[in-house]
Amino acid sequence: MKIGTFASIATPIASPELIIELGKGVEAAGLDSIWLGEHVVLFDEMEVGYPGTPDGKLPIPEGSGLPNTVVLFSYLASVTSKIRFGTGITLLPQRNLIYTADEFATLDYLSGGRVDLGVGVGWCKEEVAACGYDFATRGARCDEMLDAMIQLWTRREVTYDGEHIQLKAAKLDPKPIQSPHIPLIIGGYSPAAMQRTARFGQGWLGFGTNPEQTATAVAGVKAALDAAGRSRDGFEIIVMPADANADTVKEFQDIGVDRLVPMLLANDSDGVKARIDQLAALADAV
């Protein structure tokens, strides 16, 4: 099992210098990957609270924000050569298809094929609306976007006639370095998310889960893959755990998790160094 990290990077707490230090430190420690979350605008009041905290508030300090994932990974790609970059998750249905396909293909091209694109439909109605899209259709739009994006990455010319996506003789370059395309890691626990995983995914992503919850989800993923006529061969289970220690790492490994991505808070240099050392020790114990 590989060990990476989910980096909680909020600006301006995380300076450009600290971000570079984090990227170089993770690579030097021999960790597998760095993952980032995405929220482009934040709200004090939301119709549906964030599911990861008891009070429904995003754990982002007042006056802070999350830097753009593609820009930040491009920044880190220029000072690293081995670590992979994953999004956990990219909120695909609140994005423009063409710009997203182009940005991630370019990032894959510039980084030498080190990108994993984690995809989810999102939960924040206000954020989806602010980006100009309909919250109610985000699942159907996500599926069409994944279908069209794969075609844009793998075909010379694409014509697509969907309910939400229409393209006519569109050509997108550069293409991703990875073959056949950037791995799509699908997040979510709903039946629709499992079906999306089986249809499009090269992996499944779980966030904030313990071993028991992960085991249930892995069974759901396997059932969805079986129903789609797919096997687990070459398919990754990636988990961002609620807690990671020597005991839980072994439990996740026994469940069949391929990549474990514990949290790292990028608040100060000493804390980053200490956390990287802890994660390197976990990796050595696997």
Angle between the N-to-C axes of helices 138-154 and 97-111, in degrees from 0 to 180, rounded to the nearest 10: 50
Does the structure show a pLDDT above 90 at 57? Answer: no
Single-letter residue type at 253: Q
For the chain, the average pLDDT equals 96
Q: Is 154 helix (H, G, I), strand (E, B) or coil?
A: helix
* Res 72 pLDDT > 90: yes
| Residue 268: both structure tokens together | 């100060």
User: pLDDT at residue 52 above 80?
Assistant: no
Catalogue all structural domains in the chain, each as residue range(s) with its CATH number.
2-95+109-127+186-285 (3.20.20.30)
Q: Is the pLDDT of residue 64 over 90?
A: yes
Residue 200 has a pLDDT of: 98
pLDDT (0 to 100) of residue 236: 98
Q: What is the residue-wise DSSP string for 263-275? A: EEE-S-HHHHHHH
Query: Do 148 and 128 meet the contact criterion of CB atoms below 8 Å apart?
Result: no
Write out pLDDT tens, residues 114-165: 999 999 999 999 999 999 999 999 999 999 999 999 999 999 999 999 999 9
* Residue of 20, 67, 59 lying closest to 39 (CA atoms): 67
pLDDT in tens, 208-245: 899 999 999 999 999 999 999 999 999 999 999 988 99
**Residue 197 scores a pLDDT above 90:** yes
What's the pLDDT at 55? 84
Q: What is the pTM of this model?
A: 0.96
Instruction: Give pLDDT, residue 124.
Output: 95
Q: What is the pLDDT of residue 286?
A: 85
State the Cα–Cα distance between residues 21 and 29, nearest whole angstrom: 12
